Amino acid sequence: MPEHLRARVLEIVGGGELVEAVSQTGGFSPGPAVRLRTSTGRRAFVKAVSAQVNPDSPVMHRREAEYSAQMPSDAPVPKLLGSLDEDDWVILVFEEIDGRNPGPDWDPAELRRVVRALGEMAELLTPSPIDVPPVAERLGGFTGWGSLAKAHAAGEDDLAWLDPWAFDRLDRLAALEADSIPRCAGDTLVNLDVRADNILVAADRVYFVDWPWAARGAAWLDMALFVPNIWMYAGPDLARIVTEHPLLAAAPKESVHAFAAGVVGMIMHGSRQPAPPGLPTLRPFQKAFCAAGLEWVRSFGLL
């Protein structure tokens, strides 16, 4: 970050000189992500991005700043201390949470704690306490399977890379995703990006971070999105800790199935595209996510 913006960050934190800055790994933001400490003892977490590195990321950071500033004080979300949007940089300054990312080798007890916290957050954030778009507007519809089917029909992709089970059901998956978005409606504030590196486990609480995709939708959506993340790292047995939570288990099976198929199709289609600037690890993650998600879709036994 430019030196004059680093100085502005320290003003937001509360003054003093920078005495420690520890970069954080994980996630897909193509910019600094740093825990810092000042000479006055103040601490903060800072994330920043420049449009020169990735032209889309500043938009995401602006949305996150807008939504984080509105979060109720009792939400399990780090407090936004301030933000900067100048000189081609967008910078967010949060309170530092003395916690860590869980996984990827999940401990069952810790996973149960995280899933319980996810269910409690859904209850706390219903109805949505902040103004965000509905899921239908945020996602704009799922078209991944349909796009793959069109590419195959046009001779543009032989889909030899695609799982044979999915290939044999391509038209049915496309029809399923087309019916999925209306099933996701609701009035819960959902994160829509719950995964291990967007969770902080602290001694007193579990926190959920990164909210640029925030939307209003069905209370079970974040729980459903969490399933493939657990499945890809820990397998189906531990994923059952998520699928058997009452919030997800009581949701209409057909709706969860349609949403899961839609998400997998969307991400699978995206994983075939060139990597976005500054995000070299995104496509490999998406491919692993889709492999696990497709196994989950298959396990419903509805196709």
Identify whether the C-beta of residue 95 lies closer than 8 Å to the C-beta of residue 225. no
Together in a domain, 14 and 68: yes
Q: Does residue 25 have a pLDDT over 90?
A: no
Together in a domain, 90 and 104: no
Together in a domain, 74 and 139: no
Q: What is the pTM of this model?
A: 0.93
Together in a domain, 82 and 104: no
Which range marks the domain in which residue 121 is found? 99-299
Q: Does residue 28 have a pLDDT over 90?
A: no
Q: pLDDT category, 57, cuts 50, 70, 90?
A: confident
pLDDT digits (tens, 9 = 90+) for 237-267: 999 999 999 999 999 999 999 999 999 999 9
- CATH number of the domain that 73 lies in? 3.30.200.20
Gap between the Cα atoms of 239 and 35, Å rounded: 31
Domain count for the chain: 2
Which residues are CB-neighbours of 61 under 8 A, at least 6 positions away?
Answer: 29, 47, 48, 49, 83, 90, 91, 92, 212
Domain closes at, from 94, 126, 153: 94
What percent of the chain stands above pLDDT 90? 88
Domain closes at, from 58, 77, 94: 94
Identify whether the C-beta of residue 210 lies closer than 8 Å to the C-beta of residue 217. no
Together in a domain, 26 and 166: no
Together in a domain, 178 and 295: yes
What percent of the chain stands above pLDDT 70? 99
pLDDT at 29: 73
pLDDT digits (tens, 9 = 90+) for 178-190: 999 999 999 999 9
Classify residue 98 as exposed, middle or buried by CB count within 10 Å of its CB (0-12, 13-18, 19+).
exposed
Together in a domain, 115 and 223: yes
Residue 277 corresponds to which tokens in the numbers above? 């600037």
- CATH number of the domain that 284 lies in? 3.90.1200.10
Which residues are CB-neighbours of 182 under 8 A, at least 6 positions away?
Answer: 136
Which residues are CB-neighbours of 106 under 8 A, at least 6 positions away?
Answer: 230, 233, 234, 238
Count of CB atoms situated within 10 Å of the CB of 164? 9
